[in-house]
Amino acid sequence: MRLIRRPVLANYYLTYRCNARCWFCDIWERPSPYATPEAVKRNLTDLRRLGVRVVDFTGGEPLLHRQLPQFLRWAKELGFITTVTTNTLLYPKTAADLQGLIDMLHFSLDSPDEEAHNRSRGVACFSFFEKSLDIARRLGERPDILFTVTSKNIHEIEEVYRRWALPYDLVLILNPVFSYHDIHDSLSSEDLQTLRRWARRKNIYLNLAFIRLREMGGNHVDAPVCRAASSSIVISPDNRLVLPCYHLEKHSLPIEGNLYELWRSAEVQRLVAMEGRYPECEGCVINCYMEPSFSVSLNRYWLLSLPSTLKYAWEKKMWKRWR
């Protein structure tokens, strides 16, 4: 049963450029402009009209966009909940300008071992992660630690938890790795059980619906769980509406200053209705689109998501941010 029939999340790609070269991500290989302020301002207004409540300014590395602080201010003025994920290479230089503007700030970490983390990211950024934590604490920020869990680093969760999450009183987000394009990794059934046990711990965020979806073989095109296109709006750096999601990108339509009417058009709604039904959607478990999908339909995944969602909202005091 559908609970929410409007999009709840906007994934706003400010640029596909990145100053890291992570092995599990290929976005940095794409040529990319930067989103223009004119387009961002207009699109934020239309996103609010469409009912979106959360805007994820993403990339690439979103901190590469020098006007990110202004975009965040506009978003906050319109009442959005804002979220930004960064590899922290630029955070020490931009932290003061970003202070108080990001509701869900995520610092990416792949390993508590400096050499392993730097190897995973393709650049020497471990020291920036540690420095960024100290700066954020001085500024009164409380970033989350975003840990992409793979078969190679699952045994390192404990050290990350003990070394940073508990002492800093930060939420450790456990993000199960997913495969797409030519990038492949998978978690064993034993790994999934290990993650399920972690979900019960203090200061841990792990959506248990992610685990169940993997156990069920992911999205199935004959009965799709995915609601990526109807629950999320994806905007590219060159101001195009991407459907059904960034990772598949079957369609890319120019917004041309009127996102509101474009989204509501018969053509777009016809494409939205194909969500989760393309041949490439079979077996998909991509977290960033499944999470909003779980929130809009009443089913087993909504029920599995509810405890972790409420736990995170309590930890982050999210109820204070809704307008």
Residue 135 lies in a domain: yes
User: Which parts of 2-141 are beta strand (E)?
Assistant: 9-13, 54-58, 81-86, 104-109
Q: What is the pLDDT of residue 186?
A: 77
Burial class of residue 2 in the structure, from the number of CB atoms within 10 Å of its CB (0-12 exposed, 13-18 middle, 19+ buried): exposed
Residue 282 lies in a domain: yes
Q: In sequence order, which residues have a C-beta less than 8 Å from that of residue 3 and are 6 or more positions away?
A: 295, 296, 297, 298, 302
Strand partners of residue 204: 172
Q: What is the pLDDT of residue 39?
A: 98
Residue 1 lies in a domain: no
Residue 2 lies in a domain: no
Pairing outcome for strands 172-176 and 144-149 = parallel
Residue 100 lies in a domain: yes
Helix (H) or strand (E) holding 82: strand 81-86
The mean pLDDT of the chain is: 93
Residue 121 CB neighbour total at 10 angstroms? 27
- First-to-last CA distance in the chain? 26
Q: Which of 294, 296, 313, 312 is nearest to 304 (CA)?
A: 294
Residue 3 lies in a domain: no
Q: What is the pLDDT of residue 230?
A: 97
Q: What is the pLDDT of residue 184?
A: 54
- Confidence check: pLDDT of 16 > 90: yes
Residue 205 lies in a domain: yes
Query: Are the C-beta atoms of residues 110 and 153 closer than 8 Å to each other?
Result: yes
Residue 270 lies in a domain: yes
Predicted TM-score (pTM) of this structure: 0.94
Residues of the chain with pLDDT > 70: what percent? Answer: 96
Tens of pLDDT, residues 48-101: 999 999 999 999 999 999 999 999 999 999 999 999 999 999 999 999 999 999
Query: What's the CA gap between 23 and 265, in Å, rounded?
Result: 38
Q: What is the pLDDT of residue 319?
A: 55
Q: What is the pLDDT of residue 264?
A: 97
Degrees to nearest 5, angle at CA 219 with 230 and 242: 35
Q: What is the pLDDT of residue 26?
A: 77
Q: How far is CA 35 from CA 61, 113, 132, in A?
A: 13, 35, 25
Query: What's the CA gap between 71 and 39, in Å, rounded?
Result: 11
Domain that holds residue 87: 9-321
Q: Which of 203, 192, 93, 102 is nearest to 145 (CA)?
A: 203
Query: What's the CA gap between 61 and 17, in Å, rounded?
Result: 6
Could you tell me the CATH number of the domain that includes residue 301? 3.20.20.70
Query: Are the C-beta atoms of residues 29 and 70 closer than 8 Å to each other?
Result: no
Tens of pLDDT, residues 90-133: 999 999 999 999 999 999 999 999 999 999 899 999 999 999 99
If you average pLDDT over residues 175-194, what whole number do you get?
Answer: 79
Work out how many domains the chain is built from and give that number. Answer: 1
Sign, Cα dihedral of 305, 23, 280, 34: positive
Q: What is the pLDDT of residue 192?
A: 94
Banded model confidence at residue 321, pLDDT cuts 50, 70, 90: low
Q: Any idea which residue has 């290479």 for tokens?
A: 89
Q: What is the pLDDT of residue 29?
A: 76
